[in-house]
Every structure is written in structure tokens, then in C-alpha cells.
Amino acid sequence: MNNSFICFFDAKSIIRLHFLCKNILFPEIVTKFYLLRQNDTYMELHTDIYYIQRVKAGETACFACLIDRYSQQVYALVRKIVVSHEDAQELTQDVFMKVFKNLSSFKGDSSFSTWIYRIAYNAAISETRKKKYEYLAIEEAQINNVTEDDLSEITGGGNKSEQVGRLEKALTMLPSEERALILLFYMQEKSIDEIADISGLSPSNVKTKLFRIRKKLFILLNQMELEEI
């Protein structure tokens, strides 16, 4: 098994989902997980649609293959939005519960990954709105004064590990929706159209927001550097 593999759905997690979903036969999925852990090439054999069709046909154990394929990506998105590891882990489990319960409504109009990301995005954003986090306010004049040349400095020069550390810290100062857009575009390499489908924004609005978020990151990174002098 690949040593980098991290699954956030162990047997206890699946059993938790079983109780939440009552009549869903999740114990079958636990057995499938043991098989997946013994054979890391199994996941590459079939497409999402293949597993979805089998689950819809009553082979609920095949849902383990979809959890195994997407659990890391979903967790990464949710964690960037809610920050807390414990909250992200619980929300990720809830996301897959929703996916399972609503799998019959998936029609293939978008890719399955986009569909599942949309559910994860909405669940995480909803959670942050409940907790009413406070974020650093940046004046409009500051944002407007940032140029294209300034933005190129975000990834230019300097110690890469230090840059990553500052960038991670700067991201925590942004509202949850903005962190999510950055993660989807730059880290998970989703297209503008895919992000629009996931977030419910128009493609043009996604582009505008990403440009504005980069400006805010530049300002935050500059402030950090000044504080270190």
C-alpha cells in the first residue's frame, strides 16, 4: 500500500455513518476498505460512473471505492474552509453521508468530482457561517493600489519554505469563501468553469474574486514582512 495514503474513513467512521443513515448497509463498505488497503491498484481499474452505477444497483460496498478516491481531496477543501482538523474530519464524514443518500440524484450533468466538491463546499461554508468567524478587514483603497507587477512578487524570489509558511498564515486571515476559491484554483487546479459549478458563482465573478483575493494576499504578505523587520 502507498505509504502516503491517508484515509479519513476508518471502520469506526463508517459505523458512525451506518447509525446516522439507519438502514444503509455500511458494514459492507468496511469490508471493502480492508480489500482496498490490501490492493492499492484496485482503485485505478474503474471510473467513477462504474462505481456509481453499481451502488445505484444495490452494491453499496462499492461506495468505499468513491470514499477512498475522494476523501483526501474533500478533507483538504473542507479543512481550508473551517480550519479546525476535528471539524473538518466530522464535516468530511457528513459530506460522504450526503453523497451516499443523494447519489440517485446524480445525473452526470457535471463530473462526479465537481458534484461532490459542490456538496463539500456548501457544507463547509454553511458551518463557518454558523460560527461567525471574524476576519482581518482590508481597506478598499489598499486593494485598488495593488498592481499586476505587485502580484507577480507573491511567488517570486526568496526562501520557498518561508514563502509557503507566510502564505499559509495569510490564507487563515481571509474569509472562508476566499480561502476555498484559492484552494480550488491554485492547489487543486480546478478550472474557472469547474469552480463556478462548485461555488454557484458565474465564471466572470470567479475570475474577479480570484484577482481580488490575490491582491489581498499581497497586502497581507507585505504586512508580515514589515512586522518581521
* Domain limits, the chain: 11-131, 140-228
DSSP letter at 16?
Answer: H
Is 11-131 CATH 1.10.1740.10? yes
Residue 35: pLDDT band by 50, 70, 90 thresholds? Answer: low
CATH architecture of 140-228: Orthogonal Bundle (1.10)
| Range of lowest pLDDT (65-74, 203-212, 218-227) | 218-227
Q: pTM for the full model? A: 0.74
Question: pLDDT at position 138, please?
Answer: 84
Query: Exposed/middle/buried for 220, CB within 10 Å: 0-12, 13-18, 19+?
Result: buried
169 in Cβ contact with 224 (< 8 Å): yes
Structural Rg of the chain based on CA atoms? 20
pLDDT in tens, 108-117: 888 999 999 9
- The identity of residue 19, as a single letter, is F
Which is more confident, 163 or 222?
Answer: 222
pLDDT in tens, 171-210: 888 888 998 999 899 888 899 999 999 999 999 999 999 9
